[in-house]
Amino acid sequence: MSSVGIVGIGVGLLLVCMRGPLVVAPAAWLRWFRWQIETTRRTRIFGGSVLILAAGMVWAGTTEDSLLAVVLRLWGLLGFVILPLLLLFPSGFRTFASAFLPAAEEGSLPGWRLVGILNVVVGFLLIYFGGVAL
């Protein structure tokens, strides 16, 4: 079994499961995200869990020489650059993230639905290419 394929499928499933609700119910997902980053502790736990995922992506990306391995390695390295800042400065991340969250969760939020659709498409592509890599 290929570690790149397994991690690709896992990251793809995570993207689909985490961003799928953004397509269907963006206001509820944005409320959950706002709640998730509301306190310093939850923000650090969120950042730590994503940092562990980034470490797995870098590890899997270094085991093979394929396009999927390069993509996983680059996303993981990007996580290693950004996420320690989230762990060290959670209030700065909250301020930054709050600037992108809508103040009033009214309407259908078409921009957020588009973000969700793009993430789900990327997730399905990762699942497909992860399956091919197996």
pLDDT above 90 coverage of the chain, percent: 52
pLDDT higher than threshold 90 for residue 2: no
**Single-letter amino acid, residue 58:** V
Coil vs helix vs strand at 4? helix
pLDDT digit string, tens, across residues 84-121: 888 888 988 888 888 888 877 667 788 899 999 999 99
Q: What is the mean pLDDT of residues 18-39?
A: 90
- The set of long-range contacts for 102-106, using a CB threshold of 8 Å and a minimum separation of 24, is 102/30, 105/27, 105/30, 105/31, 106/27
Q: What is the mean pLDDT of residues 1-16?
A: 92
Average pLDDT, the chain: 90
